[in-house]
Amino acid sequence: MDYQKLADMLFADVVKTPEELEAEFPPRGLPEGAVVSRMAPSPTGFVHLGNLVQGLTSERMTHQSGGVLFLRVEDTDQKREVAGAVETLIEALKFYDIRFDEGASVQGDIGDYGPYRQRQRRDIYHVYAKKLTAEGKAYPCFCTEQELSDIHAEQEKNKENFGYYGKYAVWRDRPIEDIERQLAEGKPWVLRFRSEGSIENKVKFTDLIKGALELTENDIDHVLLKSDGIPTYHFAHVVDDHLMRTTHVVRGDEWLPSLPFHVQLFAALGWKPPKYLHIGPLMKMDGDSKRKLSKRKDPELALTFYEQAGFPVRSVYEYLLGVLNSNFEDWRRANPDIPATEFKFSYKKMNPAGSLFDENKLRDVSKDVLARMTAQEVYALESEWAEKYNPEFYKVFTEKPEYSQAALSIGRGGKKPRKDFATLAEIPAYLSFFYDETFVPEYEQDGFDWQVSREDAAEIVCEWQELCAKDGMPGDGDAWFALVKQMGERLGYCPDTKLYRSEPEKWKGSVGDVSMVLRVATCGRRQSPDLFSVMDIMGSEAVMKRMSRAGEKLGIRN
Task: List residues near ligand GLU by CB under 6 A.
Answer: 40-42, 74, 233, 237, 249, 251
CB of 32 to ligand GLU, least distance (A): 25
When the beta carbons of 251 and 363 are compared against ligand GLU, the nearer one is 251
Nearer to ligand GLU, 255 or 331 (CB): 255
CA angle 96, 97, 98 (to 5 degrees): 95
Taking the complex as a whole, how short is the minimal distance between the CB of residue 241 and ligand GLU, in angstroms? 8
Q: Closest distance between ligand GLU and the C-beta of residue 73, in Å? A: 9
> Least distance from C-beta 206 to ligand GLU, angstroms?
18
CA distances from 263 to 141, 171, 213, 241, 269 (A): 22, 23, 13, 13, 10
* Least distance between ligand GLU and beta carbon 105 (Å): 18
- Letter for the amino acid at 85? A
Least CB distance to ligand GLU at residue 54 (A): 7
DSSP 97-126: T---SEEEETTEEESSS---BGGGGHHHHH
User: Smaller CB distance to ligand GLU: residue 251 or 485?
Assistant: 251
Show Cβ contacts of residue 438 under 8 Å, excluding neighbours closer than 6 positions: 392, 393, 396, 428, 431, 432
Closest distance between ligand GLU and the C-beta of residue 70, in Å?
Answer: 12
Q: For the chain, how big is the Rg over CA atoms in Å?
A: 34
Looking at the Cβ atoms of 126 and 251, the one nearer to ligand GLU is 251
Kindly tell me which of 249 and 370 has the beta carbon lying closer to ligand GLU.
249
Whole-number Å distance between alpha carbons of 556 and 297? 55
Nearer to ligand GLU, 237 or 485 (CB): 237
CB 109 within 8 A of CB 103: yes
CB 349 within 8 A of CB 327: yes
CB closer to ligand GLU, 262 vs 546: 262
Q: Nearest distance from residue 39's CB to ligand GLU, in Å?
A: 7
Nearer to ligand GLU, 58 or 355 (CB): 58
Residue 310, SS3 per DSSP: coil
Cα separations (Å) of 7 from 4, 231, 261, 264, 265? 5, 16, 22, 20, 18
CA distance 241 to 248: 9
- Give the integer Cα–Cα distance in Å for 558 and 543: 16
C-alpha 259/C-alpha 253 separation (Å) is 10
224 phi and psi, to 5 degrees? -100, -45
